[in-house]
Amino acid sequence: MPASETPRKILHVDMDCFYAAIEMRERPELAGRPLAVGGDSGRGVLTTCNYLARTYGCRSAMPAFKARDLCPDLVLLPVRFDLYRAESAKIRAIFADFTEQIEPLSLDEAYLDVSHLRSEAASIAWEIRERIRSQRHLTASAGIAPNKFIAKIASDWRKPDGQFEVAPDEVADFLADLPVEKIWGVGKATATRLHEAGIPTCGAMRERSELELVRRFGKFGSTLYRLCRGIDERTVNPNRERKSVSNERTFRENLHSVDEGLEKLEEILAELRDDLEGRYDEREIRECVVKVKFGDFQTTSAQRAADRVEPEVMRELLAEAWERGQGKSVRLIGAGVRFRPRKKKEDGQMLMF
């Protein structure tokens, strides 16, 4: 960063076990009990759980039957997305009292750019969290840093109900021992390759040249080279748009024929249409997708270019994905759409983002 450039002040605010916390607030009698939100059948999965449930080993995306084995006293409640969306809107209204530069990542987290405010970023984060506590009776954690990459990592440092700041002159030390798994975009496969190359931390990665990283990881190598040095020039984008919408269902018992799957698909498509109507009427669909998870947990998907949800097309996609299982039973089916990028007017022309 040039010496004349003022460091940005970026916050990443992350609600603490959001869905579970809302349910606990709405049902005070459940205080002090391990609680999760998710599928209410033995074949369902947890969407989230409170911190007491996590001490038993429960976590999001865990099958409900496994969670109950780990925590027999677990209270498992159904998902109530309408309630969570309404709560998310109220929390974003609190954010909007401080800045218009808000980039929601999901219902329970967002980036905020408060560079234009005179107050210290840590003070702003504290005030936002206190207002969430006093007005919404929920807790949030926050990361404060000169860019989005570091702010998101920092928000996890003092969870729950805490905040952590990384000042510009602390970035190098903060990243030195940071495991590569914490880097944005590094999944299990890339992390394994990095470890095999003797690169377990950002500090170790800084010892490698950009050329070497590009040779090993393609274009992503350049991203790794910058991020391990704390370089992230992405702006907080208030107009960040949703790229897809989908619904899926995990079944109480595995399905054994495509005809059974087609029956279930009709219900999933009805839910998908309900989600699309009203909320995404202005968005142009570019692709339809069907996802299948087999009994052995292997997953596949089939997609086709389309501008609307056609039941016949979705049925064909399900049959295509199902056939790849070569006789395996199916435990989950999902259906969704991917949107075209929005268009905007500029100088009298229609340009893509």
Residues labelled catalytic: 109
SS3 content of the chain, % helix, strand, coil (to 5): 40, 25, 35
**Nearest alpha-carbon partner for 73 in 56, 85, 51:** 56
Euclidean distance between CA atoms 252 and 61, whole angstroms = 16
Render 237-280 in DSSP notation, one character per residue.
Answer: -TT----EEEEEEEEEEEE-SHHHHHHHHHHHHHHHHHHHTTTS
The distance in angstroms from the start CA to the end CA of the chain is 27
Overall residue count recorded for the chain in this entry: 353
Residue where the block lists tokens 């006093």: 134
Tell me the angle at which helices 18-26 and 81-96 cross, rounded to the nearest 10 degrees.
100
Euclidean distance between CA atoms 7 and 231, whole angstroms = 12
Q: How many other CB atoms are found less than 10 A from the CB of residue 216?
A: 17
Cα dihedral sign for 207, 210, 216, 218? positive
Contacting residues for 3 by C-beta, under 8 A, at least 6 apart: none
Cα dihedral sign for 86, 87, 88, 92? positive
76: β partners: 36
Burial of 309 (0-12, 13-18, 19+ CB in 10 A): middle
Q: Retrieve residue 184's tokens.
A: 């944005």
